């Protein structure tokens, strides 16, 4: 039996980045509603839990005091405010009423997910509103004001736990990598669209960590048009063996859905096929698991992806046809989708060959650069 917790608050959707901003907070409500329509929010061993709160002290384990002060000041302001030194108030990271309260709520949710797994005996806890992986110590970035994953992982590390952070978002998990770049206590692995022409412009294989952290930052940059088979290949040949070898006390994953081929921001060609495959393999590892949401700019993809993930976490087989009530809701939003699951997608031959060459080159470089030392090191450490 797997005990699971879904950390959720209706307040996740109670604000707005602005009508023209791609980050739509309705995504959380839509995902929760779809889960409910599939019967996944009233399971005997899958509980829906509240977020709790986060203290300044916890936030200060990563963020700078001056930055937090600025966030608090702007949060209470009734006029429009901006401070570009902190990345605040531009088109990407708008200052809207209550934005800091909202960011704190999302962070509290991730801390609660970590607590449920480490202190209350849950096998898996999933915070839909976590995974805001671009926030830096003193700068908002990529729609992220507070780095919930880092704040929660800091607490786990302070408890003496070793952590793997796996990031499956279309964008490089730069904020989290940066926080643990010089330590071997947290292994960060990010699969993402290459930063060559894509935000945030980092996440190349050459970024492997420094000092005692050398080899503990792993990046698999993927070409545009990387499809299901190639995404699974990158996961199977890099992420999976490293997670298994490191054998962490806690696995933290960012499960962004902006990798999907119908996402408006990325050029990857992923579907629910490889997404489900990876979530299934992660569950099979049976490592205490803190799962987080993340990116995703097609609302229906977000709702489908996270519902699929939550279904797998609970071992519930879902009807591949979306519930009629949900189809009505999304059709009113202009979405024609009627299926929960997509067919596996193969990119066009030319695109696929280019992406395949690149993923093979990348896998071989990482296996040469990181595997011998690291897998060897892990084996020695676990033999102690
Ligand atoms: Zn993203």
Task: Encode pLDDT of 103-120 as tens digits.
Answer: 999 999 999 999 999 999
| Tokens describing residue 68 | 């937090």
- CA-to-CA separations, 18 to 73, 82, 96, 100, 143, in angstroms, rounded: 20, 15, 8, 15, 12
Return d(Cα 343, Cα 261) in angstroms, integer. Answer: 12
**What per-residue confidence (pLDDT) applies to 372?**
78
Over the stretch 230-240, which tens digit does the pLDDT of each residue have? 999 999 999 99
Q: How far is the CA of 264 from the centre of ligand 1 (A)?
A: 11
Percent of the chain with pLDDT over 70: 97
Query: What is the maximal distance between C-alpha atoms in the chain?
Result: 59
**What per-residue confidence (pLDDT) applies to 379?**
55
Phi, psi of 14 (to 5 degrees): -100, 45
Average pLDDT, the chain: 96
Give the helix/strand (H/E) hosting 234.
helix 228-234
Q: Pick the catalytic residue: 21, 47, 63, 134? A: 134
Over the stretch 52-93, which tens digit does the pLDDT of each residue have? 999 999 999 999 999 999 999 999 988 889 999 999 999 999
Q: Which residues surround ligand 1, an ion (CB under 5 A)?
A: 169-171, 256, 258, 295
Which domains can be identified in the chain, with CATH numbers? 4-382 (3.40.800.20)
Q: How far is the CA of 380 from the centre of ligand 1 (A)?
A: 36
21 is a catalytic site residue: no
**What per-residue confidence (pLDDT) applies to 378?**
61
**What per-residue confidence (pLDDT) applies to 180?**
98
CB 71 within 8 A of CB 27: no
CB atoms near residue 45 (< 10 Å): 13
Q: How far is the CA of 300 from the centre of ligand 1 (A)?
A: 16
Q: Inform me whether the pLDDT recorded for 380 exceeds 60.
A: no
Q: Inform me whether the pLDDT recorded for 228 exceeds 90.
A: yes
Mean pLDDT for the stretch of residues 321-326: 98
């Amino acid at each position: 039996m797997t005990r699971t917790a879904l950390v959720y608050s209706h307040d996740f959707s109670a604000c707005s980045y602005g009508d023209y901003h791609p980050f739509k907070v309705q995504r959380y409500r839509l995902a929760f509603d779809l889960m409910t329509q599939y019967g996944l929010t009233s399971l005997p061993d899958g509980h829906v839990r509240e977020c709790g709160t986060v203290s300044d002290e916890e936030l200060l384990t990563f963020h700078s005091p001056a930055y937090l002060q600025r966030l608090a000041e702007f949060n209470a302001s009734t006029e429009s405010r901006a401070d570009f030194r902190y990345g605040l108030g531009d088109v990407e990271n708008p200052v809207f009423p209550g934005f800091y309260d909202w960011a704190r709520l999302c962070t509290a949710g991730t801390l609660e997910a970590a607590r449920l797994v480490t202190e209350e005996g849950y096998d898996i806890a999933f915070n839909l509103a976590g995974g805001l992986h671009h926030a830096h110590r003193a700068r908002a970035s990529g729609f992220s004001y507070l780095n919930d994953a880092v704040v929660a992982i800091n607490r786990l590390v302070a408890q003496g736990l070793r952590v793997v952070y796996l990031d499956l978002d279309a964008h490089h998990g730069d904020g989290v990598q940066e926080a643990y770049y010089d330590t071997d206590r947290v292994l960060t692995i990010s699969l993402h669209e290459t930063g060559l022409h894509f935000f945030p412009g980092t996440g190349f294989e050459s970024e492997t960590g420094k000092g005692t952290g050398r080899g503990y930052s792993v990046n698999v940059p993927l070409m545009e048009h990387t499809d299901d088979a190639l995404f699974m290949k990158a996961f199977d040949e890099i992420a999976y063996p490293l997670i298994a070898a490191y054998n962490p006390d806690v696995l933290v994953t960012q499960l962004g859905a902006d990798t999907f081929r119908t996402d408006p921001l990325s050029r990857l060609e992923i579907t629910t096929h490889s997404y489900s495959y990876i979530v299934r393999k992660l569950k099979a590892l049976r490592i205490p698991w803190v799962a987080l949401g993340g990116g995703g700019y097609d609302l229906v993809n977000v709702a489908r992806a996270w519902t699929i993930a939550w279904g797998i976490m609970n071992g519930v087989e879902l009807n591949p046809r979306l519930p009629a009530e949900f189809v009505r809701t999304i059709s009113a939003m202009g979405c024609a989708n009627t299926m929960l699951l997509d067919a596996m997608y193969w990119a066009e031959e030319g695109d696929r060959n280019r992406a395949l060459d690149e993923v093979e080159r990348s896998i071989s470089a990482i296996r040469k650069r990181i595997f011998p030392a690291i897998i060897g090191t892990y084996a020695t450490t676990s033999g102690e």
